[in-house]
Structure 1
Amino acid sequence: MIRHRPHQAWYVAAVAFVALVGAAGFRATPGVLLHPLHAEFGWPLATISAAVSVNLLLYGLTAPFAAALMDRFGIRRVVAAALLLVALGSGLTVFMTASWQLLLCWGVLVGLGTGSMALAFVATVTGRWFVQRRGLVTGVLTAGGAAGQLVFLPLLAVLVRDHGWRAAALVVAGAALAVVPLVGWLLREHPADLGLPAYGAAEVVPAPAPAGGAAARAVGALAGAARTRAFWLLAGGFAICGATTNGLVGTHFVPAAHDHGMPETTAAGLLAVVGIFDIAGSIASGWLTDRVDARLLLAAYYTLRGASLLVLPALFADSAQPSMLVFIVFYGLDWVATVPPTVALCREYFGASGAVVFGWVFAAHQFGAAIAATGAGLVRDSLGDYAVAWYAAGALSVGAAVLSLALRRRDPVVVAVEPVPVVTGRRAWSYRG
């Protein structure tokens, strides 16, 4: 009896999943550290939230350049360096005494590190290694990053409660370091390096030569994509996605629940449940993306999210009531379900540059998250509660659904984004499709 080994693509996807989970740990800490940092240093919540915003913003802005760097230097080198940055930023945090150090460690170092393993990393891995099951694998890897961030929360909350916030930061640094050897050992660059076709492909496609000028390629991809209507609709919708997930719920749900008398460990546990159901929602979304129009999926996801956020302020209490549990399950299924259809649409509209362009769309996601993280902190400091922030997020989500429905099927596919000369002597952007 002949036994067939799994395709190498599945091993690569498994290592990528572990790396994404390892990088997610420190990004889970804002919600459980806001009050401890405020209590120890006396910094306003808006100041601490500003560090979160820097982290979120760099997390997004790094993504397109990281995707281009992966084409230049390889996935393994970029991911290993990113994990080391996460560990360094997390470890140095325990020595800080001033708010600018929080901005440097938590904001800059960890933002750059996690941004290098953001969703553009997912798009790069799936684009190279999968033809069939691409949407499904995108959903699974997306779930790894998002769910890992949330599942870390109960552990971090217990560590903060029993041993202080510094212990939690050191645990995250150790987790990131532990993944580095695994990445160096098992993560592979291209199927052709092993003499294999991509999963679902019939022929071996030679690996492209390393692309020089990573920064120029990333900026060139943005310049070309920015001339299309589809890019701005996708970026606008994804900015709202970031504002209503990482920026608002991921950062402020725990302190908002604590304002109503709920213990922080209980609130962190609820977000962990969001992470668990996020896994199911992301995988299901990836499966649906292979079969259903991605525009309709996005419209449905954003509409349902908006409805759930509009009712959230009425659900907070000093304990986890059944109505809150229903919200957690519902919201968890929708948390990053938007990613597989957004990746698919970037590939549809922008062809070979889809992963890099998605990096810029993801940068818009994090820009929205950064605004929401700081804005919600200001709302809480000035009004005494978060209600206005939840209502605004619900309304914005409905707007994102409208943007998704405005996407057209016949937008051109952008294949080349390099400037080329034309007969007038000026430079124009070349499109084929």
Structure 2
Amino acid sequence: MSELRIDQAPEKPHGTGELPRRTRLHPAWIVAVVGFVALLGAAGFRSVPGVLMDPLHDEFGWSHATIGAAVSLNMVLYGAISPFAAALMERFGIRVVVSCALVLVAAGSGLTVFMTQSWQLMATWGLMVGVGVGSMSMPFVATITGRWFVKQRGLVTGVLTAAGSTGQLVFLPLIAWLAHNHGWRTPALLVSAAALAVVPLVLLFIRDYPSDIGHTAYGAGPGDDSGLRTSHPGGMTRALVVLGRIVRKPVFWLLAGTFAICGATTNGLVQTHFVSAAHDHGMPATTAAGLLSVVGIFDIAGTIASGWFTDRMDSRYLLITYYALRGLSLFVLPILLKPEVQPPMWAFIIFYGLDWIATVPPTVALCREHFGADGPVAFGWVFASHQVGAALAAFGAGMIRDAQGSYNLAWFIAGGLCAVAAVLSASIRRRRADVAIA
């Protein structure tokens, strides 16, 4: 392939739908921006269950455990489909998989307005949306950064991760306000429309590989094949073949264990149950949702900073720090929940936001370091464990609340699990050059 200037795309005939002929930006940044918007749109619906738990309980009489079970199914599928989605992106392309996923999210969100029984909640929130968001979850981030970036990989991973996690939080005040003033069906329809609106952007601007438009990956040097189209077995086969290789590596189980705890202590517990827990202490649901949105705002800074640190520091030490500090914050949370938001609660919200999903960039980097070309699919399996942990926490915390009338035990268990994750992170060894999976 001939060398091309970074600010000039190859000439294409009119009407081919390719990226603009000349731009000052490397096309990798255009792909990253559209990926950010797509992740933000898909994440919106995943913020709904935490805010609507009490409205659904009031309207249908469903228990917290029943609603938590639907959220758990969503989270399990969100994780379980991820490695297969990463492999399908290699087989059918990013645009096809992500567009279909957004349509499925929109359908699942829209159909909730017709539900009258709990099994329909499982089918829409649980099954349809779980498969949809799982098809464009964190392995989507790993795929984009692995193909399109060599330089600034960690930073871009942090930015895209922030879109997926922050999108679940920043919509909370709007969703809570709409649910309070117009009923819970209005935000469900709004999120459905938002997911559909992102589809044209994906089809127009995302390409599968830099080589498809005559470019190399951003920052790629001579002989670097990061942006070249590769050939792999079919999606299902590819995911299972990679799984068969990585399960023989102890580092996989260490990463899977830490990430399961990450999911349990963020999406599963805090995102799903914080609003309900705060409401138990007399705090209005709209205020609690606003606090979670602030977590999302600070998560942007924290995750991007984590990506920057990942480019420069040992990822293992970052994970040890993140999990240890998260555990300490969860231990003190029960004494901070009060009817009014006081300064200590603001301190928790800011700190927890910075740490919310900062674990993703170093975990992606460790997957790439230890599993080589299998890194994106391997991270899909690691991410599956994240969602299993989230699902167990979403359901388990609901059971604790139903049995004890309080979430306190759930917060303490989560804090202890974070200490375990810090120990597991410290057990990860440096990769030797001869043990990477090619």
The alignment's TM-score, normalised by the length of structure 1, stands at 0.94
Tell me how far apart the structure 1 counterparts of residues 27 and 96 of structure 2 sit (CA, whole Å): 19
Question: 1:31 is matched with which residue?
Answer: 50
Question: 1:300 is matched with which residue?
Answer: 321
Tell me how far apart the structure 1 counterparts of residues 293 and 84 of structure 2 sit (CA, whole Å): 31
Task: Confirm or deny that 1:405 pairs with 2:420.
Answer: no
Question: 1:167 is matched with which residue?
Answer: 186
Task: Confirm or deny that 1:346 pairs with 2:396.
Answer: no
Task: Confirm or deny that 1:201 pairs with 2:223.
Answer: no
Question: 2:437 is matched with which residue?
Answer: 415
Question: 2:134 is matched with which residue?
Answer: 115
Which residue type is aligned with residue 129 of structure 2?
V
Judge conservation of contact 1:348–1:413 (CA < 8 Å) in 2.
Answer: no
Question: 2:12 is matched with which residue?
Answer: none
Residue 220 of structure 1, CA deviation: 1.2
Task: Confirm or deny that 1:265 pairs with 2:280.
Answer: no
Task: Confirm or deny that 1:132 pairs with 2:151.
Answer: yes
Tell me how far apart the structure 1 counterparts of residues 405 and 435 of structure 2 sit (CA, whole Å): 48
Judge conservation of contact 1:380–1:386 (CA < 8 Å) in 2.
Answer: yes
Matches within 5 A, 1:280-291: 280-291=301-312
**Matched residue of 1:199: which SS?**
coil
Quick one: which of 205, 228, 246 aligns to 2:267?
246
Deviations 1:93-115 (A, max 9, x none): 00001100000000000000000
Query: Aligned Cα RMSD in Å?
Result: 1.3
Question: 2:97 is matched with which residue?
Answer: 78
Judge conservation of contact 1:305–1:331 (CA < 8 Å) in 2.
Answer: yes
Which residue type is aligned with residue 163 of structure 1?
H
The number of equivalent residue pairs is 415
Which residue type is aligned with residue 378 of structure 2?
V
Judge conservation of contact 2:79–2:385 (CA < 8 Å) in 1.
Answer: yes
Task: Confirm or deny that 1:370 pairs with 2:401.
Answer: no
Residue 244 of structure 1, CA deviation: 0.1
Matches within 5 A, 1:353-364: 353-364=374-385
Tell me how far apart the structure 2 counterparts of residues 396 and 59 of structure 1 sit (CA, whole Å): 22
Quick one: which of 297, 300, 312 aligns to 1:276?
297
Tell me how far apart the structure 1 counterparts of residues 289 and 63 of structure 2 sit (CA, whole Å): 21
**Matched residue of 1:328: which SS?**
helix
**Matched residue of 1:185: which SS?**
helix
Matches within 5 A, 1:7-86: 7-86=26-105
Residue 319 of structure 1, CA deviation: 1.2
Which residue type is aligned with residue 386 of structure 1?
Y
Tell me how far apart the structure 1 counterparts of residues 52 and 77 of structure 2 sit (CA, whole Å): 20
Which residue type is aligned with residue 376 of structure 1?
A
Residue 209 of structure 1, CA deviation: 4.6
Tell me how far apart the structure 1 counterparts of residues 255 and 232 of structure 2 sit (CA, whole Å): 26
Residue 255 of structure 1, CA deviation: 0.2
Residue 413 of structure 1, CA deviation: 3.7
Tell me how far apart the structure 1 counterparts of residues 64 and 273 of structure 2 sit (CA, whole Å): 10
Judge conservation of contact 1:225–1:414 (CA < 8 Å) in 2.
Answer: no
Residue 213 of structure 1, CA deviation: 1.7
Question: 1:224 is matched with which residue?
Answer: 245
Question: 1:388 is matched with which residue?
Answer: 409
Q: Percent identity?
A: 66
Task: Confirm or deny that 1:147 pairs with 2:166.
Answer: yes
Deviations 1:94-140 (A, max 9, x none): 00011000000000000000001110000000000000000000000
Judge conservation of contact 2:216–2:228 (CA < 8 Å) in 1.
Answer: no
Residue 208 of structure 1, CA deviation: 2.7
**Matched residue of 1:407: which SS?**
coil
Task: Confirm or deny that 1:235 pairs with 2:260.
Answer: no
Judge conservation of contact 2:209–2:229 (CA < 8 Å) in 1.
Answer: no
**Matched residue of 1:298: which SS?**
helix
Deviations 1:78-101 (A, max 9, x none): 000000000000000000011000
Question: 1:421 is matched with which residue?
Answer: none
Tell me how far apart the structure 2 counterparts of residues 7 and 152 of structure 1 sit (CA, whole Å): 31
Which residue type is aligned with residue 67 of structure 1?
A
Deviations 1:194-232 (A, max 9, x none): 111100013474733553321111011111101011000
Quick one: which of 174, 196, 209 aligns to 1:177?
196
Quick one: which of 106, 124, 137 aligns to 1:87?
106
Quick one: which of 195, 205, 211 aligns to 1:192?
211
Unaligned ranges ≥5, structure 2: 1-5, 8-22
Residue 408 of structure 1, CA deviation: 0.4
Tell me how far apart the structure 2 counterparts of residues 344 and 240 of structure 1 sit (CA, whole Å): 18
Tell me how far apart the structure 2 counterparts of residues 31 and 259 of structure 1 sit (CA, whole Å): 14
Which residue type is aligned with residue 361 of structure 2?
P
**Matched residue of 2:81: which SS?**
helix
Tell me how far apart the structure 2 counterparts of residues 132 and 408 of structure 1 sit (CA, whole Å): 24
Residue 344 of structure 1, CA deviation: 0.1
Tell me how far apart the structure 2 counterparts of residues 132 and 302 of structure 1 sit (CA, whole Å): 27
Tell me how far apart the structure 1 counterparts of residues 421 and 230 of structure 2 sit (CA, whole Å): 39
